[in-house]
Amino acid sequence: MSVSTAPPRSRPGSRFRPGSRFPGSRSRSNSRPGTRLSWRIRLRRDKSLLLMTIPALLLLVLFNYLPMAGIIVAFEHYDIYQGLIHSDFVGLDEFRQLVANPDFWHAFENTLVISFVQLILYFPIPIALALMVNTVLSPRIRGFIQAVVYLPHFFSYVLVITIFQEFLGGAGVLNVFLNKHGISSWNVMTDPHTFKYLVTAQAVWKEAGWGLIVFLAALAAIDQSLYEAAAVDGAGRWRRMRHITMPGLRGIVVLMLVLRLGNALSVGFEQMLIQRQAVGAGAADVLDTYSYIYGIGGGFGSATTMGADYSYGAAAGLFKAVLSLILILGANRLAHAFGEDGLYRK
Amino acid sequence: MSTLIQPPRAVTTAPRKRAKGREVWEETPTWFGQFGKGTVLTVVCALVVVPVWAVVLTSLSTKGSINGAGGLVLVPHGLSLQNYQLIFSGGTVSQALYVSLFVTLIGTALSMIVSVLCAYGLSRPHSFGQRPLLLMMIVTMFFNGGLIPTFLVVSDLKLYGSLWAMILPSMVNVFNILIIRSFFQNTAAEMIEAARLDGANEWRLLWSVVIPTSRPVLAVMTMFYAVTYWGTFFNALLYEPDSRKWPLAMVIYEYTYSGNQMPGMGTTGIGGLQNASQLGLQMCVVSLSLVPIIVLTPFVQKHFAKGMLTGAIKG
């Protein structure tokens, strides 16, 4: 994910060196001699390139940067009729209400618990799968397995949850089976106690296969001659795994962990929202849904709706966003401490 | 291990039979290991295949066989298309299908155009303003206004209740753009140079050189965008109060998952509801949104890793 822009360095004293103009970068076209031209000339030269970026940037400004400016609602008592600019400014009032609300802390706790369960139960699965799939020799079988396990990644959560419902829900395959054999039924889909495992199971079903891709690629990138050399030296398959495969996967595992930690506060928003009515707010409320339900609410799970309080919801959202940013930067720091690249290079 | 010092050719004539593709130095796996691995992988595949199979099969089953199975049908028994006929005879699902198709086709086309243009605009070395523009894009990956401010902005733009609310806010995916960009950067410099000498301008270069050589990544990205639009749910929930503008996912949520009665279902003449099972109809809707994905993924699958990795890992 780290994005390199091949840093252009104008080197004083070496203005006219034919051939290797930019050491370390691949050969450049003669008509783009780097940054030594004045900005006017470069602007004129690149105006069609800039023109191309305009539609995307315009959309980003509209739907990403304007909302960032709109964060100001979190510091106001937003009034629909007065709009963003004329609403009363109340400073940290909404945040004071937020931290005083036990429901908010409950949602916070839920977020952390579910995140933790997902980290422990979800994270190792794609790695283990990748190690197994990697040893399948027949390319056709391997391709088939990949095609099958990738599939659920492309299903939306509504679909995934509906499929789970048909299998584990009150009238689902599991309970039809249980009833037939005289065992009391168990509606997994509405059980708040096991909800965190249910959510994790859904996430695993949907994404574990997709998670394979990166690990398979990392495995393929390991120098195969290392294995051969180790085998010649008498290392068995387990020792090769321990001393070649594991170190080879280290970088990508750390990167994935960093991403996971950075997203620790965003656990399955859609999942929670969809299943909130079935299992109850106590089990399903996380920071994201909290912000949504309190902020917009209307029309969703109307029995428990608090009514639209944009400012309060935005305050909850901002709280989460800031914490997430801190988490992702912290996780990245951690990756650097382990000598890995993390999201960006040091 | 005398085989180690023999040249690879000799292996084919070696007495011990080796599986094709296994390296000379690799031990033959134990029976137990093979069996265990086979079992695990089979179970993993079954966990995906069986549910999908059951859903599609149930949608194709008659009311009798669904009642006989007491729920989802796992073994085919009396197939018919009547559920689909009923659903396509007008009403909520047909309407949702139109909405989903509209959002997917228009959305994907626009997303791809905007993304490819932007990716190319930022892919030429040392172009003007490249680094600040990139930075501006990357910032949005880590920080955004959040739900409520976005909702307010979209509403202020008069998109609330419009089909475009399901397209415009999610039209640009920065991650996808970065992947395309890094692919474009790897287009052979010699080809670009040659085209430029022939008098091609940037637009021509993009259209005639860069796009044709980047087909795999473009196929993958088209698929990613299409799948996202096809499954659009949350934007519909936020911005579409009118059930006639709901996409398939909303219909599934409302009538299949939550189990509410579908309005306008079975009143259109063909047989009515008494001949169809509610479950069969529900599974029809689910299948409708599953099947295009199942049909399309295999075509793009071989490019997944390539497309994903050039962008994600190498940077």
pLDDT in tens, B269-279: 334 455 567 88
At A332, is the secondary structure helix, strand, or coil? helix
Closest by Cβ to B257, choosing from A42, A151, A161: A161
pLDDT at B11: 44
Inform me whether the pLDDT recorded for B260 exceeds 90: no
Q: Which two tokens stand for residue A200?
A: 């994790």
Distance between CA atoms of residues B94 and B285, nearest Å: 10
pLDDT at B6: 46
Q: For residues A291 and B146, is the Cβ–Cβ distance under 8 A?
A: yes
Contact B315 A3 (CB under 8 A): yes
**Residue carrying the six token digits 């509405």:** A190
pLDDT at A201: 94
DSSP characters over chain B = -GGGGS-HHHHTTSSS---TT--TTSPPPPHHHHHHHHHHHHHHHHHHHHHHHHHHHHHTB-HHHHHHHTSS--S--SB-SHHHHHHHTSSHHHHHHHHHHHHHHHHHHHHHHHHHHHHHHTTSTT-TTHHHHHHHHHHHHH----HHHHHHHHHHTT-TTSGGGGTGGGS--HHHHHHHHHHHHTS-HHHHHHHHHTT--HHHHIIIIIHHHTHHHHHHHHHHHHHHHHT--HHHHHH--SGGG--HHHHIIIIIIS-PPPTTSS-SSSS-GGGS-HHHHHHHHHHHHHHHHHHHHHHHHHHHHHHHHIIIII-
Distance between CA atoms of residues B252 and B249, nearest Å: 5
Distance between CA atoms of residues A178 and A184, nearest Å: 7
Q: How far is B156 from chain A (nearest CA, A)?
A: 9
- Kindly report, residue by residue over B206-251, the tens digit of the pLDDT: 999 999 988 888 998 999 999 999 999 999 988 988 888 999 999 8
Closest by Cβ to A53, choosing from B121, B145, B150: B121
Q: Which residue of B has its CA nearest to A141?
A: B41
Nearest to A71 by CA among B247, B131, B148: B148
From the candidates B26, B126, B160, B235, which should be mutated to test the interface with A, based on the most A CB atoms within 10 A?
B126
pLDDT at A346: 54
pLDDT at B79: 83
End-to-end CA distance of chain B: 43
* Number of Cβ pairs < 8 A linking chain A and chain B: 322
Number of other residues whose CB lies within 10 A of the CB of residue A228: 16
Inform me whether the pLDDT recorded for B49 exceeds 50: yes
Number of other residues whose CB lies within 10 A of the CB of residue B15: 4
Inform me whether the pLDDT recorded for B137 exceeds 70: yes
Please give the residue that has the higher pLDDT: either A43 or B5.
A43
Closest by Cβ to A73, choosing from B128, B149, B154: B149
Distance between CA atoms of residues A53 and A66, nearest Å: 18
Maximal C-alpha separation, chain B: 79
Contact A232 B25 (CB under 8 A): yes
Q: How far is B224 from chain A (nearest CA, A)?
A: 8
From the candidates A137, A154, A325, which should be mutated to test the interface with B, based on the most B CB atoms within 10 A?
A154
Distance between CA atoms of residues A281 and A113, nearest Å: 15
Contact A5 B130 (CB under 8 A): yes
Distance between CA atoms of residues A303 and A300, nearest Å: 8
What is the CA A316 to chain-centroid distance, rounded? 20
Q: Which residues pair with B75 in a beta bridge?
A: none
ipTM over 0.90: no
Q: Would you say how long chain B is, in residues?
A: 315
Distance between CA atoms of residues B43 and A289, nearest Å: 34
pLDDT at A1: 43
Inform me whether the pLDDT recorded for B308 exceeds 70: no
Distance between CA atoms of residues B135 and B25, nearest Å: 48
pLDDT at B232: 92
The pLDDT averaged over each successive group of 10 residues in chain A (346 residues) is 44 40 41 65 88 95 91 82 77 87 91 92 93 87 90 92 88 84 85 91 93 88 88 88 91 85 85 87 87 72 54 89 89 82 64
Distance between CA atoms of residues A71 and B314, nearest Å: 34
**Residue carrying the six token digits 């309005």:** B263
pLDDT at B106: 97
Distance between CA atoms of residues B74 and A321, nearest Å: 45
Q: How far is A299 from chain B (nearest CA, A)?
A: 8
Inform me whether the pLDDT recorded for B119 exceeds 90: yes
